Amino acid sequence: MPMWISSAIASFTAWLLCGMLLAGFGRWLSTRMGPFVLRCHGARRLHFEEAPRLYTLLAHLSIAARLPAPRLYVVRREQPNAFSLGAGPRAAHLVLTSAALDELDEAELCALVAHELAHIAQGHTRRATLVAALVAMTVRCATRAGWRGGTPGLLTRLTRRLRRLGMPPARDFVADRVAAGLLPEAQDLAALLRRLKAHASWSGPDVLTDAGLPFTAPAGEEDAGRVLDERIHRLQRVAAAQHARRAKPILRRFLRRGSRFHPRVEAPGRRTRVHPLRGKRLTRLDGGSRSGTRLPPSSPGGTRPPARPGGPPATPGRA
C-alpha cells in the first residue's frame, strides 16, 4: 500500500475521533449547563404538593403547545418573574420566582407559564442556557479572583451584553405571539407585562448573575422599558384581531337570522305562473291544465260530473 494512502486513512481516523469527542463533550455540556445555572442561582425543585394548581395549569398548557411538561423550580427573588432553561423540550427547566407564586393570580400565572413554554417550543432556550452558564462562570471566576461587586463597571456591561445576545427582543416578540395563541385572551399576557413593568427595578438586578438570565420581563437596562411597551402594544393588536375573528360568525348569524327581539322575516318565494294560452292548449289535449287537477279522459268537454250527496261520486255515462 502506498504511503500517502495510509497517511490519509490515519488522518481521517484522527479527525473522526476528534469530532466524536467534541460532539460527546458538547452533548454532555448541553445537558449539564441547565443544572449548573440552577445551582448557581440557588433554585430548588417545586413539588406537586406545594403548588397543585400550578402543575394543572402547566399540564394543560403543555398539551396545548404539544410539549412535554418541563420541570418546575423556584428561586427566591423579590420581583415576580420567570425564565426557562434547557437544551431542548425534553430537558427543559421552568423557573419561577417566589414573588410570582405569592403575588400573581391564576390568570397571570397562566400567561407567565405560556410565555416560557413558547420559548421552549421555539428552541430559544439553547442559546439562553449557554449565555446564562457563561455569565455564571464569569461572575464566579471574578468573585474568586477578588471582585466584590460595587459600582457597575466593565463586568456589569459585559453581562448585560451577553444577556441581549442570549435572548434578544425579537425572540420575546415571537414568544408573545405564540403564547397569545395558547391563552384564551391575549389581553391577559399584556396585563401581566404591565404588572411586571410596574414591579421591575430599573436601577439594576439585585444579583449580578441575574443579568444573564432570560427573564420574561428583564430589568436593569436602558431600553428594557421601551421593549416592554412595544410588546404590550403588539399584544393589544393581537387581542383586537382575536376579538374580530370571534365577532365575525356572530355578525353573520345576526344578519342571517336577525336579532333576538327583531327576527328577520324571510321573503316569500316566487311562484311560477302558467301562461293562459298554454294552459288552454293543454286542457284541450289532455283534459286538464298544469296548474289544476288532471281530469279523466272519459269526461266530455273536460268537465267533472257533480258528486251525489251521501253516496259515491256519479260515474259519467250512467243514468
Residue 204 pLDDT more than 70?
no
Q: Would you say 84 and 93 are in contact if contact means Cβ atoms under 8 Å apart?
A: yes
Cell of 68: 412535554
Measured CA to CA, the distance from residue 181 to residue 147 in angstroms comes to: 45
Within-domain flag for 11: no
pLDDT-derived band at 298 (thresholds 50, 70, 90) equals low
Residue 309 pLDDT more than 70?
no
Measured CA to CA, the distance from residue 274 to residue 260 in angstroms comes to: 40
Angle separating helix axes 106-121 and 186-199, nearest 10 degrees: 100
Q: What's 249's domain CATH number?
A: 3.30.2010.10
Q: Would you say 159 and 135 are in contact if contact means Cβ atoms under 8 Å apart?
A: yes
Measured CA to CA, the distance from residue 255 to residue 253 in angstroms comes to: 5
Q: So what's the pLDDT on residue 84?
A: 92
3-state secondary structure 182-235: HCCCHHHHHHHHHHHHHHCCCCCCCCHHHHHCCCCCCCCCCCHHHHHHHHHHHH
Q: So what's the pLDDT on residue 94?
A: 94
Measured CA to CA, the distance from residue 143 to residue 149 in angstroms comes to: 8
Within-domain flag for 170: yes
Domains identified in the chain, total number: 1
Within-domain flag for 290: no
pLDDT (tens digit per residue) in 10-36 = 787 878 887 777 676 566 666 777 888
Domain with 111 in it: 23-253
C-alpha closest to that of 86 among 45, 6, 17, 31? 31
Pick from 5-9, 103-107, 293-297 the range whose average pLDDT is largest.
103-107
User: In terms of pLDDT, which residue wins out, 85 or 318?
Assistant: 85
C-alpha pair distances (Å), 10 with each of 6, 7, 16, 19: 6, 5, 10, 14
Within-domain flag for 279: no
Within-domain flag for 261: no
Within-domain flag for 280: no
Within-domain flag for 303: no
pLDDT (tens digit per residue) in 111-120 = 999 999 999 9
Q: Cβ of 216: how many Cβ atoms within 10 Å?
A: 28
Within-domain flag for 60: yes
Report pTM: 0.68
C-alpha closest to that of 213 among 171, 164, 172? 164
